[in-house]
Amino acid sequence: MHMKNLSSYLLGTMMLVAPATGWTQSRLSSTPPPSLRQSAESGLGESSTSSSSTVVNPDPSFQTEAINIWSENFGGSNPSTRGWLNYGFRGINTGNTPDTNGVWEYRGTSTLPASGTGSRGAYAAGTTAIQSPTRTNGFMIFDSDWLDNNGTPTGTGVLGSPHRGMLISPSVDLSSHDFVNLSFYQYYRRFGGPGGAQSAAATYLLFSIDNGLTWSDTLALNSNIAVNSSTSSSLMTRINVSPYIGGQDSVKIAFLFNGDYYFWMVDDIAIEQAPRVDMAITGTAFLPDTAAGRGIEYGMVPDANKTPLTFQARVANIGSTVRNNIRLQVSVIDTTAPGTPLFTGTSAILPSLDPFTDTLLSISTTYTRLN
């Protein structure tokens, strides 16, 4: 039986065409307001819950016309001197009593441990620190593993899990910026979410537009990470947050860890003016002829069973203006004999795509491997 390895051939290109110092262990300086305590009770908050399309960009330098409005890289001095708040809460994810132990930690150049150290927990010890661009000058970590066991499997830490800890930004004025993205680097290893349940992750973003008096929207992060798995140590995440904080003059953002083990590290946080023009391919697929009885395509198939393939891509408009006349183009290249593509196809033209929306485009003609 003659087998064909498709991986040598189905390596090609898809493109879109469209015109045009020392905060070693922060302590509470005051009791958090009731509304904040209430929001921290649940991983989804006590107010409205919203969903969002998150675009994780492996090349954060590709931000056409992006303008930085506000940023924090946790370097140089105590973050509390710049208006950051760091709250922990005691209880099995239901109590409102503040706790000074279950809080975020700062890793800096002169802290102990310093910025080269990641989690100190028994089950995560030895993991690297976050690999963000400015990691050597400092980052923040919620080390649930260490808080629970003090670094040994049978140990007792300063606060048993599950944990809730909120890291809250200073106030930011976005009244002149209707379309904004929030970007940050993160490194998260998942075990349990709110109350220790493994059905949800422990990482959330909360938004306030009244300087933290109320927290009106919550976004769950990292739901795609499996239990006992982690993100990369240098995951750059960019989220369009215009519906939540765009155009507001009293914005605060909270990073909430609400769960059970292991850790969450964050660094290099920025609020950016969303670029006018920015598009991305967020997913691709090549699909066989379903009439032939196959719902997926394999990397290697018998020559007699080959079927026409349809190429698809999910495309997103992550800029702040409508994009017109969008077309997907696909080329199939034989990597063993590069040169003229074996196949080039295009999709029908999409007349327009609104800002911060996505759609699925398919190539108009199918491709069949000839030999």
What string of DSSP letters covers 314-345? EEEE-SSS-EEEEEEEEEEB-TTS-SS-SEEE
Residues 6 or more apart whose CB falls under 8 angstroms from that of 174 comprise 69, 180, 245, 246, 247, 248, 249, 251, 271
- pLDDT at residue 63, as a whole number: 45
E strands within 91-179? 97-99, 105-108, 138-142, 163-168
- pLDDT at residue 15, as a whole number: 64
Residue with the bigger pLDDT between 37 and 55: it is: 37
Tokens describing residue 180? 């904004």
- pLDDT at residue 173, as a whole number: 97
Q: Is the pLDDT of residue 175 over 70?
A: yes
DSSP 8-state symbol, 49: B
Q: Is the pLDDT of residue 62 over 80?
A: no
Residue with the bigger pLDDT between 270 and 90: it is: 270
E strands within 193-227? 203-208, 217-221
User: Would you mind telling me the total number of residues written for the chain in this entry?
Assistant: 371
CA–CA gap between residue 182 and residue 244 (Å, rounded): 11
Tokens describing residue 26? 């922060």
- Average pLDDT score, the chain: 81
pTM of the model: 0.74
Task: Grade residue 61 by pLDDT with cuts at 50, 70 and 90.
Answer: very low
CA–CA gap between residue 66 and residue 181 (Å, rounded): 9
- pLDDT at residue 340, as a whole number: 81
Q: What is the tens place of the pLDDT at every residue in 283-333?
A: 888 777 666 555 555 566 677 777 788 899 999 998 888 999 999 999 988
CA–CA gap between residue 105 and residue 319 (Å, rounded): 35
Least confident interval from 98-102, 155-159, 364-368: 98-102
Q: Is the pLDDT of residue 48 over 90?
A: no
Collapsing DSSP states into helix, strand and coil, what is residue 360?
Answer: strand
Task: Grade residue 183 by pLDDT with cuts at 50, 70 and 90.
Answer: very high
Task: Grade residue 201 by pLDDT with cuts at 50, 70 and 90.
Answer: very high
Backbone angles phi, psi at 175, to 5 degrees: -60, -20
Query: Around Cβ 60, how many Cβ atoms within 10 Å?
Result: 16
CA–CA gap between residue 348 and residue 356 (Å, rounded): 21
Q: What is the tens place of the pLDDT at every residue in 77-109?
A: 778 889 999 998 865 545 566 778 889 999 999
- pLDDT at residue 261, as a whole number: 94
CA–CA gap between residue 225 and residue 259 (Å, rounded): 14
Domain ranges of the chain: 3-18+277-362, 34-273
Q: Is the pLDDT of residue 8 over 80?
A: no
Q: Are 7 and 301 in contact (CB under 8 A)?
A: no
Q: Is the pLDDT of residue 113 over 60?
A: yes
The superfamily (CATH) of domain 34-273 is Galactose-binding domain-like (2.60.120.260)
CA–CA gap between residue 240 and residue 339 (Å, rounded): 39
Q: What's the farthest any 2 CA atoms get from each other in the chain?
A: 74
Distance of CA 310 to the CA centre of its chain: 30
